[in-house]
Amino acid sequence: MLTMGLDIGSTACKSIILRDGEQILARSVVPLGTGTVGPRKAFGEALDLAGVARSEIDRILLTGYGRFSFDDADGQMSEVSCHARGIYFLLPSVRTVVDIGGQDVKALRLSEKGALENFVMNDKCAAGTGRFLGVMAGVMNVKTEDLGALSEGATEEVSISNTCTVFAESEVISRLSAGVRLADLTAGIHASVAKRVASLVFRGGVVRDVALSGGVALNRGVVRALARELKIDVLVHPDCQMAGAIGAALFARQQL
């Protein structure tokens, strides 16, 4: 039994094909979000990697911000449920999932059996989201995916006092003009994101274990900063970026 989960985010698309809801056959990440060729590309790449045709997939489920905009699927579910399910599949000890998406931050509470019990999400503000990191990377002329490694060379943390993305961007520009080191500035940016995210996580309540989901979890600097803010270890699975897609594929399996 083959199922596919396609997570159409605002900045990237992730697809996964599962056999019998257990074995990952193929995974694809395309750094293009909804409204672009990203969803179709991620969809096609996963099929090619698994060496199967669309007709061989028993059920395809969509999730993510663009979940209503792709017609070659059998259904959709919210990214809230899919990230919870996906992380429980990857890290069964986790009770609190933090997902930093392109434009949403979520703190999810899971039951011992992995069921989503509750969630809190950010308000209508880009502070603390993946978009915030993307904007700051643009100002510093570095790739978003390189921010984590860059911050490892920090000797101090440059404080970013603004949480608003627009004002923080101006602040970063002024710090750059003042000649601060990129590594120190990046560490400060990570701390800014972590503070914002931690306040949301505290609002939902912190229950061990805590895991970070989504592409931002691959940024080691953010993981370190968040662990420091939460005063707790934050687990990260190598497939963290795929968690939403995995969850969708698991729900697709359940629906068969």
Partner 1 sequence: MAGNSAGETPGAPAQKPKAPLPKSRALVNEQTAGVYARAWEAHERGEPVGWSTAIFPQELCETFDVPVLYPENNAAAISARHMGEPFIQHAEGEMKYPINICSYARLNMGMADKMRKAESIQTQGIDPAMAPPAFLCLANNSCTQLMKWYENLSRNLNIPVFFVDCLFNYSEEEPAAHKIAYVRGQIENCIRQMEEFFGKKFDWDRFLEVQRISQTNRVLFNEIVALNARKPAPMNGFDLFNYMAPLVICRGKESTTVILTELKKETEAHIAAGTSTFRGEEKHRVHWEGIACWPNLGHNLKTLGGYGVNAVMNGYVTAWDVAYEPGDLDGMARAYQVSSTNSLTTPGIMKKRIASIDRFGCDGMLCHVNRSCKLMTFHIMVGREMIEEEAKVPVANFDGDQSDTRVFSEAQFETRLQGLVEIMSGNRNKNGNKEARHA
Question: Residues in the site for partner 1, rule: CB under 8 A?
Answer: 65, 77-81, 104, 115-121, 123-124, 203
110: DSSP letter: E
Q: How far is the CB of 82 from partner 1 (least distance, A)?
A: 9
Instruction: Give the other-Cβ count within 10 Å of 48's Cβ.
Output: 11
We find the least distance from the C-beta atom of residue 37 to partner 1, in angstroms, to be: 21
Q: CB neighbours (10 Å) of residue 130?
A: 26
Half-sphere exposure of 156 (CA within 13 A, CB side): 5
CA distances from 60 to 16, 50, 88 (A): 10, 14, 20
Cα dist from 88 to 108, 139, 146, 248, whole Å: 11, 36, 28, 12
Closer by beta carbon to partner 1, 68 or else 159: 68
Largest CA-CA distance found in the chain, in angstroms, rounded: 59
Smallest distance from the beta carbon of 126 to partner 1, in angstroms?
12
| Closer to partner 1 by Cβ: residue 120 or 139 | 120
User: How far is residue 79 CA from its own chain's centroid?
Assistant: 10
Identify which of residues 47 and 216 has a Cβ nearer to partner 1 in the complex: 216
Shortest distance (Å) from residue 120 CB to partner 1: 7
Q: Which is nearer to partner 1, 76 or 241 (CB)?
A: 76
Give 6 or 191: the residue with its C-beta nearer to partner 1.
6
- Nearest residue (CB) to partner 1, 15 versus 34: 34
User: How far apart are CB 186 and partner 1 at their closest, in Å?
Assistant: 29
Nearest CA among 44, 34, 45, 41 for reference residue 12: 34
Q: Please state the closest distance from residue 164 (CB atom) to partner 1, in A.
A: 13
List Cβ neighbours of 231 (8 Å cut-off, separation of 6 or more): none
